[in-house]
Amino acid sequence: MVAQERSARTRQRLVHAAAVEIDENGYERATLTRICKYAQLSIGALTFHFNSKRDLADAVRADARALTNDRMKQVAHGHAPGLDCLIHLTGELAHLLETEVVVRSAARLERDCPGDGGWLESWLPAVRCLLREAQRSEELRPGVDPQVMTALAVHLVTGAETFARASAGGADPHLPAVATQLERMWEVVLRGAVATP
């Protein structure tokens, strides 16, 4: 293994360890000591790659954005723009939150240090765009405001983050996956909850 490749792997191990630590304890509580312990690397190795905890957090955010952008592109590729695509997109976000600690960690960073930009910006513009498209094509019921739908989507994904963290922490294994739960909620939202509107 060439030195460069080894260095990249070490860096990746540190970012993963930082994500685990931030997801579990939040940015402020995260310690470099625990990150090194998770990564099975020395503090020297850490400081060779990252100047500070903030640097590590930025790397976590960048990885999460890259992963999310990639998944968003795949979804957009496989579905015509509109509500079906939106549901697949939020389902992918829920799945990422459940399975990728780096994404869960970036979502927590977004809450812990709001205004820093980051994960939300890797999917929110796509959600907005799909909802405008759904309105233009009259897929949305007349009178349904795309902005309200966008807020609803953000609320659902925010809720999914909380559920995903609980489920990653070893919640009831009989509960359905976060993405499945989200899909059921969308089904209600699309068709309506009441018998006689």
Site for a copy of itself in 142-161 (CB under 8 A): 142, 144-145, 148-149, 151-152, 154-156, 158-160
Please report how close the Cβ of residue 195 comes to a copy of itself at its closest, in angstroms: 5
Our finding on whether 5 is near a copy of itself (CB under 8 A) is no
Our finding on whether 25 is near a copy of itself (CB under 8 A) is yes
Q: Which sign, positive or negative, has the C-alpha torsion 90, 127, 102, 167?
A: negative
Residues 6+ apart with CB under 8 A from 103: 64, 67, 68, 96, 97, 119
Contact characters 167-196, a copy of itself, x per CB under 8 A: --x-----------x--xx-xxxxxxxxx-
Angle, CA of 115, 99 and 124, to the nearest 5°: 35
CA distances to 3, 23, 65, 117, 125 from 110, in Å:
34, 11, 12, 7, 16
Q: Which of 29, 37, 54, 73 binds a copy of itself (CB under 8 A)?
A: 29
Instruction: Write out the H or E segment, with its range, that includes residue 109.
Output: helix 101-112
Summarize as ranges the residues that interact with a copy of itself (CB under 8 A).
25-26, 28-29, 83, 111-112, 114, 138-142, 144-145, 148-149, 151-152, 154-156, 158-160, 162-163, 165-166, 169, 181, 184-185, 187-195, 197
